[in-house]
Amino acid sequence: MTPTKAYSQGNSLWQDAMRRLRNNRAAVASLVFLLLVALACFLLPLCPFIANPNSTNLDNIAGPCCWEHPFGTDQLGRDLLARVLYGGRISLLVGAVATGVSLLVGLVYGLLSGYVGGRTDAFMMRTVDVLFALPFIVLVIVFSLSIEEPVKELTAWLVETTGWSRESVAPILGLVPLFIAIGALGWLTLARIVRTQTLEIKAQEYVMAARSLGLGHMRILFRHIAPNLLGTVVVYTTLAVPGIMLTESTLSFIGLGVKAPNSSWGTLIKEGADRMEVSPELLLFPSLFFCLTLLALNFLGDGLRDAIDPKSAKD
Amino acid sequence: MTRRPGNGKGDEVSKNLRKQVETGILHVVRGMGIMAALLGAMVLTGCGDGKNSAEKFAEQGILIIGNNAEPQSLDPHKATAVADGKIISTLLEGLVRPDAQEEGRVHPGMAERWEHNADASEWTFYLREAAWSDGKPVRAQDFVYAYKRLLHPEFAGRYAEMLYPLKGAEAYNKGQASWEAVGVHAADERTLRLTLNGPTPHLLQLVLHFTWYPLPEHHVEACGGMLDRSSRWTQLGHWVGNGAYVYSGHRFNDFLSVSPNPRYWRAGEVRNRGIRFLPIVNGYTETRMYIGGKLHITNNVPPEMLARACAVVPQHFCQDPYYCTIFYRLNTARPPLNDVRVRRALSLAIDRDTLVNKVVRGAGKATGVFTPPGAGYAAEPPSFMRGGSQAEREALARHLLAEAGYAGGKNFPVLELMTTSRDVQRVMAETIQAMWKDVLGIHVEIRSCEWTAYKSAQQSMQYDISSSSWSGDYLDSSTFVELWRSGGGNNCTGWGNTECDAAIQAARVSGHAAERNAHLRRAESIMLEAQPVIPLYTSERTYLKHPGISGWYPLMLDNHPLDAVQLPTPVQP
């Protein structure tokens, strides 16, 4: 096809990708849904009509849905809607922050390993192999236990110096071991993917051209190689978030994640599952939110993969 | 950018969408397929011939019983948990056996007959001709060996104080006297003489406990010797015992099974053909499994499931009185819990009636004392708890906390409340956490631990506040009071008081029941005034039992001789 004037401008890969993504209704709907959930979790609790998620009322245990408590109340008479929203904050935060940490580490590690090559590459990849061989959950447990004490000191210090109330700091800071642990150990797969891609891109003509023009290593790495990896990385990330949220619920389930009375979706589901015959809505609402969020993330990930991978979307 | 002719935008969108939906559906269908396959497999293995596993095992005569937790150890000198004791008492037999029907009544066990002197301070037991499961005879020396092992200062047995009624046992255990001075002696292979500190008419109740059981000396010696704490003599394949059953299988976190011991002296009278103990910590899961036909007797129905259990399986539901107190241990070695005012404030701030009515839901009675009713004396709450409404108590609690320097909870450090992952304990912890926050303005953090981690943290005092329970080992108040001797193996609070110790000691050597009770009562009131523990409620056992089962009666100590339990064949669904 001969290029006409209309096309001479040319669309960048990203513009194409965005267009393809916009055309994918499932992915767009998922994106909108995710944004809505995130907004609800982070902004709704600021409204006065949402109850305190930790204030108990033993006279209204497992109460039914009503205006005051749209989702009813839990086994200690706490408002379930508020608990689901606050739980969502923690679950989403863990998903986002832990993924961010592992993204950063994995990207840099993989880039360096692939770009430098040779013995350094072999050494770095063998290290990854060794870490891969260790059971993930066990490592996360050991790791989060070992940095529990410093985090406690940090909380105390923060409360003292800033004068913030304990209740506002503790739930978030209490998760720091989890963030670091999951992030620090979740980068392995990503590092491998990035390294392979780097090896491939390194051999491309434009990188050789850049090198022959005398560009520095940093510039080549971050100007020419990293942007070309981004597609793969973005896709991998969206697909990794659900996994990390699941890990959080696993850890909360065994008592290492969020501490009572705070909740995450994982702990809410666990508590609800115990009581499912007696009061099913305790299981229903949190799991509905959790499942839909995970589903949306998966759809979005699939959509991004189709949109960004030029080969798969050409037909 | 190339664009193929005829590939319109609408086409692309619909194609994309279809693909999306298709893959989505595919995922869902695949997921459902896997689930269906799993369910199918469960159905096939669970009841291939239309029978659930409870029925199938009942046909084989094997009893399946919920046992709360994975045992810490089957070595009677290392075990302290109720779950361990239940298994051990099927594997080993002491001098006497408990009655299935009546609490406190005993039958001859390893001892055929016994006699004692006028004030019941010297006892002679004449052993019957019985054999260990490896064929060697059970000798009086095996009892002596077992007692020496538990009391040995280097063995550091947690439950050593159970043997303190023996003359000289405490001094030997503390390394102050030699073994020769301890009042246990094998006159010959079949005669065991026990000399006690003082008159002990209730000795037969004491020796029912697993700490008084004999050990196969020849076997323990062969497996590493007396003081080897990691000896493998209790392991599967090495087990040697004299009880009604032998240890026959163990799958971690799945089951532990015992099968009849053919060399047991009353092997013909064992009413079932084996027992499976399931370590199910979660009462909801257990109740669900029972309703699903996986168990014959459960360990515990959680309060929230009571109504449902009564509705679904009304004839199966049992609620028995239980000689047990639920309480919080406070680590008095750590500030601010070393301040008695803080401890009292924490105790006063808990609204026990609300706790029992709303959270425990009738499966217990609120209490301010440690020894439950049922035996001995009726204990009195400490002075600061007597009279007054809950509001007044809360006001006093705030006052005490302010006196201790934490007015309104200001500057109060964040304490950690340790619980097991058991459902009731967790809900209770969250309730009390909220009560402390509301009344005292203090924040405690809840740490929920897996059972063995919880036990070891408690025993090494790596906690601030620990959600605990104590069930009587024998039907006498001393089983509760003796816990609080300073340095006692199950004290675990760091608290001790010489006056309290003296009262316990006086009770041990006193001959009259009334005098003994007076001493114990004084010891308890000293302890309660200091409040190293916060008593919450005396619990009742709520569990499910198949109505066709015979030989199981309500017992306050919950030490049912399981060899007397008979399964109906065939079981009605």
Share of chain B above pLDDT 70, in %: 90
Q: 3-state secondary structure string, B402-416?
A: HHCCCHHHCCCCCEE
Residue B28 has pLDDT above 90, yes or no: no
pLDDT at B526: 93
pLDDT at A235: 80
B539 contacts B325 by C-beta, under 8 angstroms: yes
Q: Work out the average pLDDT over B350-358.
A: 90
Reported as a single tens digit per residue, the pLDDT across B98-142 is 999 988 889 999 999 999 998 889 999 999 999 999 999 999 999
CB contact under 8 A, A274 and B449: no
- pTM score: 0.77
CB contact under 8 A, B448 and A274: no
**In chain B, which residue's Cα lies nearest the Cα of A60?**
B358
Strand order in the sheet with B255-260: B63-66, B275-278, B255-260, B245-251
Strand B122-127 to strand B111-116: parallel, antiparallel, or no bridges (unpaired)?
A: antiparallel
Residue B467 has pLDDT above 80, yes or no: yes
Looking at per-residue pLDDT, the higher value among A8 and A199 belongs to: A199
The confidence band for B38, taking pLDDT boundaries of 50, 70 and 90, is: low
Residue A206: exposure state from Cβ atoms within 10 A (0-12, 13-18, ≥19):
exposed
Residue recorded with tokens 């760091």 = B494
Rounded to the nearest integer, the mean pLDDT of chain A is 82
Q: Work out the average pLDDT over A40-51.
A: 83
User: What region does B381 belong to: left with phi over 0, alpha with psi -120 to 50, or beta?
Assistant: beta
**In chain A, which residue's Cα lies nearest the Cα of B351?**
A58
ipTM score here?
0.70
Reported as a single tens digit per residue, the pLDDT across A134-151 is 887 787 778 777 877 787
**Taking CB atoms and an 8 Å cutoff, what residues of chain A touch B446?**
259-261
B284 contacts B542 by C-beta, under 8 angstroms: no
- Beta-carbon neighbour count of residue A67 at 10 Å? 6
d(CA A143, CA A161): 27
A73 contacts A60 by C-beta, under 8 angstroms: yes
d(CA B90, CA B112): 19
Q: Is the dihedral of CA A215, A221, A225, A231 positive or negative?
A: negative
CB of A217 less than 8 A from some CB of B: no
d(CA A162, CA A148): 21
B122 contacts B193 by C-beta, under 8 angstroms: yes
**Taking CB atoms and an 8 Å cutoff, what residues of chain A touch B419?**
none
Reported as a single tens digit per residue, the pLDDT across B146-168 is 999 999 999 888 888 889 989 99
**Taking CB atoms and an 8 Å cutoff, what residues of chain B touch A18?**
none
Min Cα distance A187 → chain B (Å) is 26
- List Cβ<8 Å contacts ≥24 apart for A78-81: A78/A51, A78/A53, A78/A54, A78/A261, A79/A50, A79/A51, A79/A52, A79/A53, A80/A281, A80/A282, A80/A285, A81/A50, A81/A51, A81/A285
The confidence band for B422, taking pLDDT boundaries of 50, 70 and 90, is: confident
The confidence band for B530, taking pLDDT boundaries of 50, 70 and 90, is: very high
- Nearest to B479, CA basis, from B467, B471, B491, B488: B471
**Helix pair angle (A148-162, A166-173), 10° resolution:** 150
The pair of structure tokens assigned to B172 is: 């030997």
Strand B191-195 to strand B415-420: parallel, antiparallel, or no bridges (unpaired)?
A: unpaired
